[in-house]
Every structure is written in structure tokens, then in C-alpha cells.
Amino acid sequence: MALRTIGFMDRFIGELDKAIKVLAAPAHANRPAPVSVGGEFVLDDAEIAASARLMRVNHSGEVAAQALYQGQALTAREPRVAAAMHAAAGEEMDHLAWCEQRIRELNGRTSLLNPLWYLGSFAIGALAGAVGDKVSLGFVAETEKQVESHLRGHLDRLPAADERSRAIVTQMTHDEAAHGAEAASLGGGALPGPLRLAMGLTSKLMTVGSYWV
């Protein structure tokens, strides 16, 4: 029996299935959620609201990360690069599940704009991968650098008493730094200044949008 060739529609359906799982299905982590060393503290209403909004922003960032990596893996030219993208997406899925769980614990909700972030990030990732693996890996390295900085900013903004959210964001920060270093080690090149600025502005738009919507 002849093997069936995987065509464009097969890959399209596969990517659509992944998008539905990220946007509509509960995320499942391979690692347990980080726990705080200092234990749990009671949060007041203002602290709960602040933490819920910040963790919603982080959740949207992980939705975008899933789309970005899937898009880059789809158009990567070298199998090792595609494999690295899939591996990073798997670890980012832990982040997605942790943020989702914490948002539920805080009686919050995820962003209504997540489908928009997913679509835009997938398109950007696919374009970066199509340009070439060096650019694609450089894009990952710069993205993770900006995300790491963003998460450190959230550690400054999260209520001091919210040790659980802080533990999650701390582990995410370590993971993002590792992803960026791996992308650079695989051959990611430095991006031009205007492109880095555009990436920062796009990130700011997503951060503000997810915080409020």
C-alpha cells in the first residue's frame, strides 16, 4: 500500500487543531507548578485583582509563544531547528498551564483577545522561519530576552504577599532565559535595531490589551 503524502490541507488542519487546543482546551503541564518557599498568604481584594490581571497578561504571552514557535517550526529549513522549536513549545505549554491554573485560583479570566494574539504571532513566526533559520533563531533569542525583562518587571509589580504567582513567574523567567540562550547557540543572529524596537512596541500593545481586555 502506498503511503499517503502529507499535503498543504493536512498541515493546515494540523495547525488549526493545535490552535484550538491552545485557545479552547485546558492546558496540561508536564511539570508541577512551582510552589513558594515562604508558604501562602491571604490576599486582599485589591491584591487579588492586581495579580489576576498580571497573570492574564502572562497567559496571553504564553498563547503568543505557542503560536510563534508553531509558525517557526512549520517553515524551518533544518530539522534540528524545527525540533528545537517544538521542544521549546512543549516547555512553554507548562507556563500556559501554570498561568491558567493561577488565574482560576484568583477568580480571574483569560484575555478575550487571545485569538488575535495567536493569529498574529503565528503569522510572524511563519514569516521569520521562511526568511531563514538564522533570522528565525535570532528572532527567538531577542523575543525571549524581551520576555525575560517583561517577567522581571512583573515580579516588581506583583503583590509581595502573592508568593504563589511570584514563584510561577520566577520559574518562567529562568526558562525563557534558557530558551534564548539555546536559540543563540544554534546560530541565531543579532537583529537590527529597528526590528527590535518594533518587537518591543508589539509586545507593549499585547501587554496593555491583555491587561484590560
Boundaries of every domain in the chain? 51-212
pLDDT digits (tens, 9 = 90+) for 35-89: 877 667 789 999 999 999 999 999 999 999 888 888 888 888 888 888 888 888 8
Q: What is the DSSP string of 14-80?
A: HHHHHHHHHHHSPP--SSPPP--TT------HHHHHHHHHHHHHHHHHHHHHHHHHHHHHHH-SSHH
| Helix 133-157 × helix 163-185 angle, to 10° | 160
Global model pTM greater than 0.85: yes
Structurally, at CATH architecture level, domain 51-212 sits in Up-down Bundle (1.20)
Q: Are 78 and 184 in contact (CB under 8 A)?
A: no
Q: What is the pLDDT of residues 147-191, one digit of tens each?
A: 899 899 999 999 999 999 999 999 999 998 888 888 888 777 777
